């Protein structure tokens, strides 16, 4: 029994030991398996991390960027336009634009009937637009509405709880001075793109560049970059124009058109020493805030687009050439007592009979016979060369759209009467700006300057993008000749001259009148009723601050430049001298009552 028990005890012990061994072996195996699994998992994670961090890094970065950033295309706000004293001429204002979601519109006829009268379109046209765009999620209904229209539409939207229409804020071009300087500034279309004037000429600067920006988003997709649009702007322009002088010029030519029941009028003021355009005005005119209310005739800048025969204002260039070539002396006598001169194919007559005139008096009294005689003495080659030197037959290069060259034929195409006719301002077509520039060359000592209107382009931050400086194109006549001509042109405004009505209180003026017949388009001959009356001059005569031309088309009741245009010159100049605080040179006033003169 004892042995049997001993065997059982030892057997149990062996079994327990075997069991423990088996258990230990199993635990060890389990540990190895678990450890292997853990290592494998770590290996898989490690490999995945390598793939994500190395191989898929760029792709995932881009994906994340798309989730938390978006690219937005921003159209720049149009730059402003200022006059030389930084007074605004063209700015931007915020307006409401109306859009619709056609796919959400149920009853198109009903909505059209409610909305059409408010946005000034026909019900049929609006309904047709809704139906044709039925599957669209966005269409414009009215762009850049005025405040009154916007309020009416907003009331309708709120009263009827319309969700199919809504507003977007857009900037609109606004011209605070209305028609003032309209032909210089120009205007834009509905998308704020320049269509005329400075707005078109410098459109690439003013409109700015389209910009792509990255907009950050939060977890809900909301933008984290509000106001980014406010940082995108086009460049600003500073003009040579003085807004106050521009107002003076426009007021006076408006009065002239009314007084003489004229068809049109032009006035341009320029600094003869630099070529800066100080003012440029036209009648008829228009309001660039309501371009649709005007026709093309009112929007045309006649100062650079319309040509006319200059008449007697052209005699100053014949005289300048004769002095420069030393073929006349100031006291040389010209017998014009017959009142006419025979030329090949016809006769040139005087408007007023004279006797024997000195060279100076030929210009002072605007003798056609005397000027024709001087022109013939010059000869066609020399005459033509000086006319070209003074810039006729070529564009002035002013920074505006639509300038024409005028008409100056080559001498080989002239007839026998062309030279004497051109000497009195016929058989040649010019623009008002061409004439003013040529007179400025006499005023400044013989330099033909390039006229310009923009003085500087500056960025929104105030940095200079581009500056424009005076540019002399050529030397036309000598300083001595220019000085002599200034003295002669002073006599035109004094007693005995044709432009006594252009004399200025306290300051000597110099200039020349012009009275030119217009061509009758029906007959092809000179009209007996329609004239262009003009005066061009500079002040003060001996040290000019500005040159000014006034041109009045088809005046009624009078035709001579000394009667129609010279008084307009006087009023503009006197007001401008006061504004600029130019000191008087003398106390007496050179104003006389005279008979009609050309």
Task: Give catalytic residue positions.
Answer: 312
Instruction: Tell me how crowded residue 188 is: count the other CB atoms within 10 A of its CB.
Output: 24
CA–CA distance from 404 to each of 160, 428, 519, 552 (Å)? 56, 14, 19, 19
In 352-504, which ranges are E strands?
356-358, 447-449, 454-458, 464-467, 472-475
C-beta separation of 327 from 335 below 8 A = no
CA distances from 28 to 24, 25, 35, 39, 249 (A): 6, 5, 10, 16, 108
CB atoms within 10 A of CB 524: 7
For 182, the token pair is: 């309209």
What beta strand segments (E) does 1-68 contain? none
Distance CA 575, CA 562 (A): 19
DSSP of 544-572, one letter per residue? -SEEEEEEEES-SS---HHHHTHHHHHHH
CB-based contacts of 500, cutoff 8 Å, min separation 6: 493, 494, 562, 566, 590, 591, 592, 594, 597
Burial class (CB in 10 A: 0-12, 13-18, 19+), 161: exposed
Alpha-helix runs per DSSP H in 57-135: 57-68, 108-119, 123-132
**Two structure tokens written together for 257:** 């058109």
Q: What's CA 8's distance to the chain center, in Å?
A: 120
Rounded CA gap, 189 and 173, in Å? Answer: 9
HSE value, Cβ hemisphere, 13 Å, CA-based, for 148: 2
Written as six digits, the tokens of 204 are: 């690439």
- Alpha-helical (H) ranges within 107-196 are 108-119, 123-132, 147-159, 182-185
Element (H, E) at 165: strand 165-174
CA distance 152 to 269: 45
Residue with tokens 């007023």: 352
Burial class (CB in 10 A: 0-12, 13-18, 19+), 328: buried
Residue 466 bridge partners (DSSP): 457
Is the distance from CB of 294 to CB of 282 less than 8 angstroms? no
Structure tokens at 290: 């309501």
CA-to-CA dists, residue 24 to 15, 16, 17, 28, angstroms = 14, 12, 10, 6
CA distance 482 to 515: 24
- Omega before 540 cis (within 30°)? yes
**Interacting residues of 233 by C-beta distance below 8 A, sequence separation 6+:** 76, 77, 79, 208, 459, 460
Scan for tokens 């006649």, then name that residue: 302
Q: How far is CA 458 from the centre of its chain?
A: 15
């Amino acid at each position: 029994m004892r042995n049997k028990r001993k065997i059982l005890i030892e057997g149990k012990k062996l079994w327990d030991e075997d069991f423990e061994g088996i258990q230990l072996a199993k635990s060890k195996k389990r540990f190895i398996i678990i450890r292997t699994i853990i290592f494998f998992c770590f290996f898989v994670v490690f490999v995945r991390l390598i793939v994500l961090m190395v191989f898929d890094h760029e792709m995932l970065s881009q994906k994340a960027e798309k989730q938390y950033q978006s690219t937005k295309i921003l159209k720049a706000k149009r730059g402003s336009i200022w006059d030389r004293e930084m007074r605004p001429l063209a700015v931007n204002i915020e307006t409401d634009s109306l859009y619709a979601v056609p796919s959400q519109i149920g009853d198109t006829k009903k909505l059209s009937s409610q909305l059409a009268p408010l946005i000034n379109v026909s019900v049929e046209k609006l309904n047709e637009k809704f139906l044709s765009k039925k599957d669209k999620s966005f269409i414009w209904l009215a762009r850049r509405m005025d405040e009154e229209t916007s309020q009416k539409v907003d009331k309708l939207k709120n009263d009827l709880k319309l969700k199919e229409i809504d507003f977007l804020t857009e900037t609109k071009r606004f011209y605070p001075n209305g028609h003032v300087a309209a032909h210089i500034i120009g205007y834009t279309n509905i998308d704020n793109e320049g269509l005329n004037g400075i707005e078109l000429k410098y459109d690439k600067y003013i409109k700015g560049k389209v910009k792509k920006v990255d907009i950050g988003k939060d977890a809900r997709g909301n933008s984290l970059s509000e106001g980014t649009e406010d940082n995108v702007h086009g460049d600003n322009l500073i003009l040579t124009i003085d807004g106050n002088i521009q107002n003076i010029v426009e007021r006076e030519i408006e009065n002239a058109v009314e007084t003489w029941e004229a068809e049109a009028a032009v006035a341009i003021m320029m600094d003869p020493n630099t070529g800066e355009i100080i003012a440029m005005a036209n009648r008829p005119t228009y309001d660039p805030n309501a371009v649709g209310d005007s026709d093309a005739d009112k929007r045309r800048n006649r100062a650079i687009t319309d040509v006319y025969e200059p008449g007697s204002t052209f005699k100053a260039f014949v005289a300048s050439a004769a002095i420069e070539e030393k073929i006349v002396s100031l006291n040389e006598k010209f017998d014009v007592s017959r009142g006419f001169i025979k030329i090949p194919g016809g006769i040139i007559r005087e408007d007023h009979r004279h006797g024997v005139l000195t060279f100076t008096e030929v210009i002072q009294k605007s003798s056609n016979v005397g000027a024709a005689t001087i022109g013939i003495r010059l000869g066609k080659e020399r005459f033509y060369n000086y006319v070209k030197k003074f810039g006729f037959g070529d564009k002035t290069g002013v920074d505006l759209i639509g300038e024409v060259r005028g008409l100056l034929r080559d001498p080989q195409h002239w007839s026998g009467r062309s030279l004497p006719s051109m000497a009195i301002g016929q058989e040649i077509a010019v623009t008002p700006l061409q004439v003013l520039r040529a007179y400025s060359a006499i005023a400044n000592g013989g330099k033909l300057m390039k006229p310009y209107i923009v003085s500087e382009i500056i960025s929104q931050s105030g940095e200079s993008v581009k500056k424009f400086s005076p540019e002399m194109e050529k030397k036309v006549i000598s300083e001595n000749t220019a000085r002599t001509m200034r003295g002669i042109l002073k006599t035109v405004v004094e007693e005995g001259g044709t432009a006594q009505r252009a004399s200025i209180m306290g300051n000597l003026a110099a200039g020349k009148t012009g009275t030119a017949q217009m061509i009758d388009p029906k007959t092809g001959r000179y009209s007996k009723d329609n004239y262009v009356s003009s005066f061009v001059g500079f002040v003060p005569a001996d040290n000019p601050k500005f040159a000014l031309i006034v041109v009045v088309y088809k005046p009624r009741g009078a035709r001579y430049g000394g009667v129609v245009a010279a008084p307009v010159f006087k009023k503009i100049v006197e007001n401008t001298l006061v504004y600029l605080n130019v000191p008087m040179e003398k106390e007496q006033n050179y104003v006389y009552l005279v008979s009609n003169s050309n």
